[in-house]
Amino acid sequence: MLFDPSTDFGARVQQRLIDEQVIWLTTVRPDGLPQPSPVWFLWNGTSILVYNKPNTPRLRNLVQNPLVSLHFDSNGTGGDIIILSGTAQIDPDMPAADQNQPFLNKYQEELNKWPAENYARLYCVALRITPESVRGFLR
């Protein structure tokens, strides 16, 4: 497993992957410049799902380089740092956001403002990220 939830750090990683609403996804432009973006996400225990608008720089970056990193905001004083690194790929088999019940459950309050079918129409490209490493510290 990527992290051990029986340790303090592993338990915190698991908690944040389940509870947090936003994670920062960083892709790399063809010229090498990192491009961080805050995104909604869904953790399924082994991978992270992010819905995207089509034809975005983020998706174009992934064609050139599927390696990504993800991180959460810190606690404001430099602690509670969690950084994941892995590989991203478009997942054409993933249901649309408004048909993905775990995603709807997680973002129900926010999707009530869209509504969900509008969000799904705009963010119609599912990106599956497979984390391969995790690092950080609690402090």
* pLDDT tens-digit readout, 112-131: 898 899 999 999 999 999 99
Give domain limits for the chain: 8-94+123-137
What is the structure's pLDDT at 1?
79
pTM: 0.95
- Region 65-78: mean pLDDT is 95
Residues 61, 35: contact at Cβ < 8 Å?
yes
What is the structure's pLDDT at 114?
85
Q: Which residue has the tokens 């129900």?
A: 108
Q: Does domain 8-94+123-137 have CATH number 3.90.25.10?
A: no
What is the structure's pLDDT at 139?
79
d(CA 40, CA 53): 12
Following CA atoms 15, 79, 67, 56 in sequence, which dihedral angle do they give, to the nearest 10 degrees?
Answer: 80
